[in-house]
Amino acid sequence: MALDPLSTTLQALADPTRRAILARLAEGETSVTELAKPFAMSLPAVSKHLKVLEHAGLITRSREAQWRPCRLEAAPMREAAEWLERYRVMWEARLDRLADYLASIEDEPVAPAAADATATGRADDDR
C-alpha cells in the first residue's frame, strides 16, 4: 500500500536514528561515512536509514567523484509542521478554555452546607 507524502514523512521521522541524522545534516551537507560515525551500526545499516529519508524526500544524495554528500531537504518537514500546527492551535484553545473555567470556579463562593460537609469530611447522607 502506498503512503501519502505526510505519512511517509512522519514514518521516516519516527526513528530516533533518522532524526539524529537529520539534526546532523541541519549543520550542512556531509558524507555517509561522516554521518555513520556517531552510531554503533554498520555503514549498510546507516545506508538503509538514508534510503528511508531519501524516499520521504527529507534528504538528497549526490555524487561528486568518490564523495557521496547528503543534504537536508526541509520541504517535507515544513508540511508536517504545518499539519501539526493546526492541532497545536486547537489544543491551546481548549486548554485556554479549561484554564478560564478553572479560574471561574475558584472564584465562586462555597455554599455553607457544602463547606460544613467538606470541613468535617462527611457528606449529606451519613450512613
* Residue-wise pLDDT tens digits, 57-115: 999 988 877 778 999 998 999 999 999 999 999 999 999 999 999 999 887 776 666 55
According to CATH, what is the number of the domain 5-74? Answer: 1.10.10.10
Asked if 112 and 66 count as a contact pair (C-beta separation under 8 A), the reply is no
Distances (CA, A) of 124 to 55, 89, 110: 66, 43, 15
Indicate the range of 24-33, 37-46, 107-116 predicted with least confidence. Answer: 107-116
Residue 59: left if φ>0, alpha if ψ -120 to 50, beta else—which one? beta
State the pTM of this model. 0.70
Scan for cell 504545518, then name that residue.
82
What 8-state DSSP symbol labels residue 64? B
Mean pLDDT of the chain: 87
